[in-house]
């Protein structure tokens, strides 16, 4: 079982950010509140605050990513940190050096934080258990397990549009089985106290005993979307699938793709989200992705503020607490 208590220090503050599972509601709200303070930074002529000046952050992406890596890099730079992007494909780990050897070398270079993306579930936890005591670790996605900063930027976007969580019905549509985003979203949504979380998809893409996560399972899209306030669509994780779990992308879109016609079953002011990258005509139609209910690009913008909040919090710095603005 993956340990979660290593995320917090003795005072109960974030030491690492590895998963939304097991964290208290107050901790999640603190991340959201802290992120709110950073949204104005993007509107400044100089888009920086000095909170992490002198801190060195290493991006360790063992798995390809553009959006997540870029927003973490922007977040670090806006906090005035020094950022080191490690090209894993050409690093010494491909030449026989072990992961722990690489971590020790980075520690010797006086790095302070590792942002980790890995194809294996539990990789970020493994690293957090083996780094030097002063190193902080943020999970940027591990296997099919967790993607906590994505979940929190989604929570931030939802709260900005809907205000309160308590009255909301949220539907997550698509490949729940292989989605680390879905797992982190479910834990965050239930902890924040939404009225109902629904997962919608074919039986082959819904985990067994999914109800144990506190969700309601639907295999019929129309029934699942009925009256919901938020629709989160997911990408088909073909790189993690073994075997043919759907007949074809065309049939999947016909049954589970979000179109304007199908969206009509949801609440009139429904918001549509997608963690990206979008496969148009597979999980979502262009008329919805680019339509008035979509907040997909806003999610990307909010990701910078949320990642700034998490980075500063794990380093023990909070915007507005005795810090001068630049």
On the question of a common fold for 5-147+301-314 and 148-297, the answer reads yes
CATH of domain 5-147+301-314: 3.40.50.1370
pLDDT tens per residue, range 26-65 = 999 999 999 999 999 988 989 999 999 999 999 999 888 8
pLDDT at 97: 63
Mean pLDDT estimate for the chain: 90
Q: Which two tokens stand for residue 142?
A: 């591990």
Q: Rounded to the nearest 5°, which phi and psi values hold at 167?
A: -90, 0
pLDDT at 78: 97
Closest-CA residue to 149 (of 113, 111, 180): 180
Say if residue 240's pLDDT is above 70.
Answer: no
* Domain 148-297 of CATH type 3.40.50.1370: yes
| Residue boundaries of the structural domains of the chain | 5-147+301-314, 148-297
CA distance 122 to 109: 25
- pTM summary value: 0.92
pLDDT at 88: 74
Selected residue with higher pLDDT from 321 and 157 = 157
Segment holding 61, helix H or strand E: strand 56-61
Four-residue CA torsion sign, 175, 181, 187, 191: negative
Instruction: Give 249-252 contacts, CB < 8 A, sequence gap 24+.
Output: 249/279, 249/281, 249/282, 252/202, 252/282, 252/283
pLDDT at 2: 47
């Amino acid at each position: 079982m993956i340990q979660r208590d290593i995320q917090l220090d003795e005072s109960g503050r974030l030491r690492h950010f590895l998963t939304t599972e097991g964290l208290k509601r107050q901790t999640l709200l603190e991340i959201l509140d802290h992120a709110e303070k950073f949204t104005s930074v993007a509107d400044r002529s100089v888009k920086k605050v000095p909170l992490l000046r002198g801190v060195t952050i290493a991006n360790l992406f063992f798995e390809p990513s553009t959006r997540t890596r870029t927003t973490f890099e922007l977040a670090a730079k806006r906090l005035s940190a020094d950022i080191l992007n490690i090209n894993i494909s050409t690093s010494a780990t491909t030449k026989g050096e072990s992961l722990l050897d690489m971590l020790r070398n980075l520690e010797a270079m006086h790095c302070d934080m590792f942002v980790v993306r890995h194809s294996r579930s539990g990789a970020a936890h493994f690293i957090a258990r083996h780094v030097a005591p002063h190193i902080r670790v943020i999970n940027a996605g591990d296997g099919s397990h967790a993607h906590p900063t994505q979940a929190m930027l989604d929570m931030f976007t939802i709260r900005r549009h809907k205000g309160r969580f308590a009255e909301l019905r949220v539907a997550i549509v698509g490949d729940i089985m292989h989605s680390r985003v879905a797992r982190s979203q479910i834990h965050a949504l239930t902890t924040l106290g939404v009225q109902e979380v629904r997962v919608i998809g074919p039986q082959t893409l819904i985990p067994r005993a999914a109800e144990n996560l506190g969700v309601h399972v639907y295999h019929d899209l129309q029934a699942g979307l009925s009256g919901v306030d938020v629709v989160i669509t997911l990408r088909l994780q073909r790189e993690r699938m073994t075997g043919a779990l759907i007949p074809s992308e065309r049939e999947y879109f016909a049954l589970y793709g979000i179109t304007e016609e199908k969206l009509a079953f949801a609440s009139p002011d429904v918001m549509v989200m997608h963690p990206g990258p979008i496969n148009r005509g597979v999980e979502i139609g262009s008329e919805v992705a680019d339509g008035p209910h979509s907040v997909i690009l806003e999610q990307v913008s909010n990701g910078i503020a949320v990642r700034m909040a998490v980075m500063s919090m794990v380093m023990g710095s909070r915007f507005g607490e005795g810090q001068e603005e630049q």
